[in-house]
Amino acid sequence: MRVAVVGGGVIGLACAWELVRAGAEVLLFDAAPEAREASWAAAGMLAPHHEYDDDGPLWRLGVASLARYPAFLAALGVEPEAVDYRATGGLLPVLDAADRARLAAKRAFLDRAGVACVPLAGQALRAREPGLAADVVEALDIPASQIDPRRLTAVLRERCAALGVALGYRRPIAAIDGDGVLEGDGNRVACDHVVLASGAWTPALAAASGVALPGEPVKGQLLRFAAPDGLLGRFVHHHRAYLVPRAGGGVVVGATMVRAGFDRADDPAAIAALATEARRLVPGLAGAPIVETWTGLRPRLQHGLPVIATVRPGLTIATGHYRNGILLTPISAAAVAALVLGSTPPCDLVPFGPPCPMSSSSKTTPSIAS
């Protein structure tokens, strides 16, 4: 089987890797020279228990994908340290009464779900994370992992290339039809199946194939402090800022959520606000220089769920992962490979079908897309 994967970020690469391992001939296309959008920009928290407050399909999908991560990395042949993978949990800190109420609600949900958490206060909290501010009086240590998305993306690209995936970066796709894909320069590439996983650019190409995926990019800005290893042992997830330590890479702080279309303009005020909140939580960052700032476009669909589905014969879509693309990579790739190859997916995909079909008369062809 010949499969075209449209989208060269972490989801597209992981899908290509799963498919080529299963014996498919895989061609990957992306308008960009490399994966520099949501995959590259993400902080790398693998934290469904931090992100969600109810037993919904997205929480269950995240939990299932988190459980697959060790085997996923082992199958890639990569040691955890090489991608800074840590299963050390993450802290939900308390600074005020509103935070305390959030913590109580979170703990109640996780207790009902059977997720064991550790409440920390006083000396126990200082022993766990001595770098936290003195007025962080309590926190909840919640099971989670973290990874460096940039290193993971690089590994996936290397593994795909080694297995024979034809990596077509700088090759935008303009349209998809029943016979394959049409490149931006007019070249037609025949294939048996297309996997559409081009992040925030997916809705335009999906529309050309008769699938309505209303949504929009959500801009996220992040920064990175130069800081010594050990300042934080695990990520800290506060609603005003999260801090993620990276081995040899300081501390990443994120993130804004701005609906501004495909605008990638920097907002110095937003970066300054994130830096202030980070230094508020970890005073040891007070003198640390900011060595990098960046912006990424998260793919969010209007109905709030990703779409992982075969929407017509020969076309499977994997998009709309929003804030959790890195978390959902292992299970999304395994599910897409199963859908394409006709085997049983590893999870219930019913909640992740397209929100509504389009009639053929409503199709439009975008001039260019990744």
pLDDT digits (tens, 9 = 90+) for 243-272: 999 999 999 999 888 887 787 788 999 999
In tens, the pLDDT along 159-183 reads 999 999 999 999 999 999 888 999 9
Report pLDDT for 155.
98
Residues 94 and 115 grouped into a single domain: yes
Residues 161 and 210 grouped into a single domain: yes
CB 197 within 8 A of CB 318: yes
Q: What is the pTM of this model?
A: 0.93
Where a domain ends, among 301, 320, 350?
Answer: 301
Residues 159 and 237 grouped into a single domain: no
Residues 184 and 330 grouped into a single domain: yes
Residues 200 and 227 grouped into a single domain: no
Residues 38 and 106 grouped into a single domain: no
Domain that residue 297 falls in: 215-301
Residues 126 and 166 grouped into a single domain: no
Residues 201 and 239 grouped into a single domain: no
Q: How confident is the model at residue 362 (pLDDT cuts 50, 70, 90)?
A: very low
Check residues 40 and 170 and name the one with the higher pLDDT: 170
Residues 119 and 230 grouped into a single domain: no
Q: How confident is the model at residue 359 (pLDDT cuts 50, 70, 90)?
A: very low
Residue 205 lies in a domain: yes
In tens, the pLDDT along 217-238 reads 999 999 999 999 999 999 999 9
Q: Total structural domains in the chain?
A: 3
